[in-house]
Amino acid sequence: MYVVTLLCAPAEGRLESALVENLRNAWGGGEAQWLSVEEAAEFRVPTMPTNFWQVWESLQSSGIDLVIQETKNRKKKMLLADMDSTMIRQECIDELAAEAGVGERVADITARAMNGELDFEGALTERVGLLKGLDESVIPHVLETRITFMPGGHELVATMKANGGYAALVSGGFTAFTGRVAEAIGFDENRANTLIAEDGKLTGEVGRPILGREAKVQALEEITAKLGIEEADVIAVGDGANDLGMLGRAGTGVALHAKPSVQAQCDVRINHGDLTALLFIQGYARSEFTS
């Protein structure tokens, strides 16, 4: 048995009941349940529709995300999340680079690395090298003036924790940012890379070992073992190529507003909804959200 979820971003439009009913009838689904009026609905189907991806594609132009999953074990016990362009809207290293006067060069490397065109570790080393000499005080300045949270993040973490879940922030970015972001949103723990500074200035080096794709998978393994849960009990979310390992291993891996090459390798893709989409696809109604 499968469950189909349709959702949209209220700012982009509304989910029409006629669309939900037409799709439910076409796929022989059960009665539709509204998780949020005009925003999210779900229904169950006995088998995977053969034209699922064609329908998914057709709905994208209408600002509607479509997800199908097995009904078993939908509500997860753990959230494993990327930070940059996932829990926050920005890429922290790009914002630091903008302050250092090398923003365009670094942003280009970041985009290529996140799309899987460059080796992550090499790309990170190169970008951090361009920050050499930057005053360490720029970090809190960037946090205060340039970093904004992705909508729905507080509700996602608070709701999962209110229902017994655990939340871990695992980033290829930097601890100077993940510590503040994790505390503000309510994560139980965070892991990231360390920027090295001497005499108040960045040295252009990053602490070893570098946390990249494999380290995110390692975090998944270590934290689930610590909690005594299975990888199937985890919902993971990210947007870049270095997230693919954890997205593929988690019970539900969500590509959120992700790079095309990342979307192509993920079965759950959210391009229009915000982070509350991760609650809807677990079956939570908006009335059950904790803020």
Collapsing DSSP to helix, strand or coil, 198 comes out as: strand
Sheet with 33-36, strands from edge to edge, namely 33-36, 40-45, 2-8, 64-70
Which listed residue (65, 82, 243, 274) is catalytic? 82
Task: Compute CA 110 distance to the chain's CA centroid, rounded to the nearest angstrom.
Answer: 17
119 beta partners: none
Q: What is the pLDDT at residue 104?
A: 94
Q: What is the pLDDT at residue 49?
A: 97
Residue 116 — very low, low, confident or very high, per pLDDT cuts 50/70/90?
confident
Residue 98 — very low, low, confident or very high, per pLDDT cuts 50/70/90?
very high
Q: Residue range 20-26: average pLDDT?
A: 98
Q: Is 108 assigned a catalytic role?
A: no
Q: What is the pLDDT at residue 13?
A: 86
Q: What is the pLDDT at residue 114?
A: 87
What's the predicted TM-score (pTM) here?
0.95
Decide if pLDDT at 185 tops 90: yes
Rg of the chain over all Cα atoms, to the nearest angstrom: 20
**How high is the mean pLDDT of the chain?**
96
Decide if pLDDT at 115 tops 90: no
**For 33-63, b where at least 16 C-beta lie within 10 A, e where not — what string?**
eebbeebbbbbbbeeebeebeebbeebeeeb
Residue 26 — very low, low, confident or very high, per pLDDT cuts 50/70/90?
very high
Cα dihedral 51, 55, 57, 58 sign = positive
Cα dihedral 291, 160, 259, 111 sign = positive
Q: Is 65 assigned a catalytic role?
A: no
Q: What is the pLDDT at residue 254?
A: 98
Q: What is the pLDDT at residue 11?
A: 83
Decide if pLDDT at 204 tops 90: yes
Q: What is the pLDDT at residue 259?
A: 87
Q: Residues 78-88: pLDDT tens digits?
A: 999 999 999 99
Decide if pLDDT at 58 tops 90: yes
